[in-house]
Amino acid sequence: MNSPRKAVALISGGLDSLLAARLILEQGIHVEGINFYTGFCVEGHTHAIRKKDKKKPKRNNALWSAEQLGIKLHIVDIIEEYKDIVTNPKHGYGANLNPCLDCKIFMVSKARQWMEDNGFDFIITGEVIGQRPMSQRKDLLPVVVRESGADDRLLRPLCAKNLAPTLPEREGWVDRDKLLGFHGRNRKPQMALAKQFGFEDYASPAGGCCFLTDVSYAKKLADLWQAQHEKKYELDDIMLLKVGRHIRPKPNYKLIVSREEGENKFLSGYRKNFIHIETTSCGGPLTLIDGDVTEEDIETASRIVARFSQGKNEDSVTVKITHINGDEKTVNVLPMPSSEIKQEWYV
Amino acid sequence: MSSYKLDARNLLCPLPVIKTQDKTAELKRGDTLEVICTDPGALNDIPAWCRINGHEVLDTRETENEVIITLLVS
């Protein structure tokens, strides 16, 4: 008896990849999932940071999907390799700093490599023609096929009937008649199929699963690159862009001001790497200073921090400034009036 | 059978899961691994990863700042 054919499914944690994998499992194919961690995934860390989000269930949706499907999931750290995709996308950016087409090509290419290394036969994605403006346009789906090197071993079960038959269909590993012909942005067919399969409580992030599609986040990343005079980043940089108010009074530095207790706790993990300011005469936010600063800059920063403290209406707030070498200095400052904090300083 | 520890503090999910996955791949069946994390999300994610990959969670503990998960490589 022949052993069953094996497929590796790209599992994002969203509904489409869940349904695509389930359709192929239904056909007796052995499926394992693969999930890529870029550092920009909305999945995961944000729920660990903000205290106000504590009531939301803390689950990784890719793991949840795999558990619903009863399949193994391999989570792959691609943080380093992904930097080149973000900083130098061959096919350009979408509405913000989202290199969706390059990202899809890269992930399918990594899945192809994994497939070859592990003796699997084909790749499944949850792509649907016309669902996303950049990476799932009908004219661009063949680009993913070609540039990833997956060729006709890439099967998109949710919209396969709108595409030419792939190797798994031609060879009879899967029955094309049981695949689907979804297209466009309408989500109702997916929701109906989820109901049919008994999937409830699946993730449906409104803005997708990547911070790079978020306008506010993309502005902060663009600001970081402008300040560095270079498109580059480290993991800590992109983590910190998710936290706090970012205020840049001058090109040479910005402040990262925590907004609540959860962010205070998260930023405290970075205290040793930055000059930081805390209020001592009243409650206030932990603030990191990112950049090279003068004494005058530190005074301005201290007055801004005081503005966001519980002493914002006082004549004087005491702040403690701690330098990276551990030297501490305590000073009294006049909180900066909100009218002096220019709107354009907010990143 | 040996006992191992993995320091996954100051990492946000899914990095503690990835570290656990990679460390477990080096271990033998019957070994135990204690994973120490600061991201409370690990309390759900690592047991979920264990369930789908066939490993057994022996214990989960939560202190003020850390979550500690002990698993049996199966």
Structure tokens at A32: 């394992």
Element (H, E) at A233: none
Positions in chain A whose pLDDT score sits under 50: 206
Is the Cβ pair B52, A66 closer than 8 Å? yes
Of B14, B15, B51, the CB nearest to A67: B51
Query: Which positions of B are annotated as active-site residues?
Result: 13
A59 vs A64: CA distance, rounded Å? 7
Nearest residue, CB atoms, B40 vs list A58, A64, A67: A58
Q: What is the pLDDT of residue A54?
A: 59
- Does A71 reach chain B within 8 Å, measured CB to CB? yes
Report the alpha-carbon distance of residue B58 to residue B60 in Å, rounded.
7
**pLDDT the model gives residue A85:** 97
Determine contact, residues A43/A20, Cβ cutoff 8 Å. no
pTM above 0.80, yes or no: yes
B18 with A77: Cβ contact below 8 A: yes
Question: Is beta strand A275-279 parallel, antiparallel or unpaired with respect to A245-250?
Answer: unpaired
Kindly give the confidence (pLDDT) of every residue in chain B, 74 residues in length, as a single tens digit, with 9 standing for 90 and above. 899 999 999 888 899 999 999 999 999 999 999 999 988 889 999 999 999 999 999 999 999 889 999 999 99
**Token code pair at residue A98:** 């989202």
Q: Of B14, B40, B41, which is closest to A75 when you measure between CB atoms?
A: B14
Contact A157, A23 (CB under 8 A): yes
Please check whether residue A60 touches B, CB under 8 A: yes
Instruction: Work out whether the CA dihedral B14, B20, B24, B25 comes out positive or negative.
Output: positive
Q: What pLDDT, on the 0 to 100 scale, is given for residue A186?
A: 87
| Torsion, Cα of A294, A296, A299, A300 (10° steps) | -100
Chain A residues near residue B12 by CB distance under 8 angstroms: 44-45, 48-49, 239
Six token digits for residue A145: 């096929």
pLDDT for res A48: 58
- How confident is the model over A307-340, as pLDDT tens digits? 999 999 999 999 999 999 999 999 999 999 999 9
- Residue indicated by tokens 């979804």: A182
